[in-house]
Structures are given as C-alpha cells and as structure tokens.
Amino acid sequence: MTALPFHNELGGATGSLPTLSPVMVETLAGFRAYVRFASTDLEQNRRRFYDLRWQPTLFGEGALVRVWGRQGQPGTVRATVYPDRDQAQTAIRQLVRRRLQHGYQVVDWQ
C-alpha cells in the first residue's frame, strides 16, 4: 500500500506531510466517511494503519469509529458516540493532528 500524495494549500503535491499546517488538519478533519493513515518503516518492521470513520447510529447520533493495528491484521476497534458531527469535530481534529505528528501518511479519505 503506498501513500497518496497530499496537496498543500497552493495545490502542489508534497509527497508526504513534512509540516502540520492548520489548513491540512482542518481539511483532513472534514472527511465525510473515513480517513485512513499508514506508517511503514521496513527497517524497523513497522507496518501500521489507523482509520477514522464517521457512522450514523440507529438513534440519530453519530459514532466516531477508530480502528488501528498492523497492516494485514484485523486491528483494534473503538467507537465513541456523539450527539452530532459538530460535537465530535474537536476529537477528530486532535486525532488527525496526532497521527500526522507521529509520522503517519494519508493513504485514502472520503
């Protein structure tokens, strides 16, 4: 799995995320359905993934579902229910920022 190039504010492809601008974090935190991050370092035998998903619940609320683990494995799943997406945005921004700070790259998002 290869990381998709992320486009900076000026529209140029950066290839990776060297710096964290508020615009990058806001753009990724505004995902509609999911955002997938990956961290791969073959020398250290590290192949990790981290998914953030927004899913509606049966009672009209929303669930922020986080899945993480080693690529090729099922992963650990955690879900947190919020009354609506607006109330979840602070947590989403924080999670996106943290993944990027830890060297993860954006693989896919919608």
Total structural domains in the chain? Answer: 1
> Residue 30's domain spans which residues?
22-109
- Please, what's the b/e burial string for 17-49 (b: 16 or more CB within 10 A of its CB; e: otherwise)? beeeeeebbebbbebeeebbbbbbeeeeeebbb
What are the tens digits of pLDDT across the range 50-104? Answer: 999 999 999 999 999 999 999 999 999 999 999 999 999 999 999 999 999 999 9
What are the tens digits of pLDDT across the range 25-39? Answer: 888 888 889 999 999
Q: 8 in a domain, yes or no?
A: no
Q: 77 in a domain, yes or no?
A: yes
The pTM of the full predicted model, rounded to 2 decimals, is 0.78
